């Protein structure tokens, strides 16, 4: 049997339909009601910060970062998605490193997300201090996380987090 290598690349405009199918398979129809989705609602991901993972011609993973603000600019990560049949192979970690490195390289200072703290801790995420940032819906405070890409960036944000709407 031939083993196909994992290829990480920037998201292409033509990937949108495959990514949406991946999200539907991984998260189901209830994903639109979750606070994690509402953090990104009404905005498009930043093209230079989205990455996909392919095995052969199959798109098996995706990560996106989108613009948001809380009295200062920040990024919202999500979703990070790996096809359930390929979980546990390091694909999500590779996508995370690629997206955070790209964001850091582009000069962004802070990333927030709603997710599993034990998983995201290895990438530098920690819980947002209570009351510091207010997401657009209910969220378990242990799952509302942030990561400074630039030292001191967390000190510039506070209040309601909202997606930066495209005009």
148, 126 in Cβ contact below 8 A? Answer: no
Question: In angstroms, rounded to a whole number, what is the distance separating the alpha carbons of residues 145 and 126?
Answer: 5
Query: Domain coordinates of the chain in residue numbers?
Result: 6-163
Place of tokens 């997606």: 163
Token duo for residue 145 = 């996380």
pLDDT tens column, 93-127: 999 999 999 999 999 999 999 999 999 999 999 99
Q: Are 53 and 7 in contact (CB under 8 A)?
A: yes
* pLDDT of res. 23: 78
Q: For 6-163, which CATH class?
A: alpha beta
Least confident of 2-16, 27-41, 77-91, 110-124: 27-41
Beta bridge partners of 6: 55
Main-chain phi, psi angles of 98, to 5 degrees: -60, -45
Phi/psi at 66 (5° precision): -130, 160
Query: pLDDT per residue over 119-160, tens digit each?
Result: 999 999 999 999 999 998 889 999 999 999 999 999 999 999
For residues 124 and 32, the answer to whether their CB atoms sit within 8 Å is no
Residue-level pLDDT at 4: 67
Average pLDDT over residues 81-91: 91
pTM, two decimals, is 0.90
- pLDDT by residue (tens digit) across 35-72? 666 777 778 899 899 999 999 999 999 999 999 999 99
Residue 93 DSSP symbol = H
Give me the pLDDT at residue 121, please: 98
Question: Rounded distance, CA 111 to CA 148, Å?
Answer: 7
Would you state the pLDDT for residue 1? 46
Give 34 or 74, the one with higher predicted confidence. 74
């Amino acid at each position: 049997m031939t083993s196909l290598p994992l290829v990480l690349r920037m998201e292409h405009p033509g990937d949108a339909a495959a990514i949406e199918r991946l999200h539907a398979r991984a998260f189901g129809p209830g994903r639109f009601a979750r606070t994690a989705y509402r953090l990104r609602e009404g905005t498009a991901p930043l093209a230079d910060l989205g990455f996909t993972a392919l095995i052969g011609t199959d798109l098996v993973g995706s990560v996106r970062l989108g613009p948001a603000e809380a009295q200062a600019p920040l990024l919202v990560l999500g979703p990070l998605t790996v096809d359930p049949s390929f979980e546990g192979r390091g694909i999500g970690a590779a996508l995370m490193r690629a997206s955070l490195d790209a964001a850091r390289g582009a000069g962004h200072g802070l990333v927030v997300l709603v997710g599993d703290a034990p998983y995201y801790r290895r990438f530098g995420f920690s819980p947002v201090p209570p009351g510091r940032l207010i997401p657009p819906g209910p969220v378990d405070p242990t799952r509302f996380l942030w990561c400074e890409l630039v030292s001191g960036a967390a000190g510039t944000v506070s209040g309601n987090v909202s997606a930066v709407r495209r005009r």
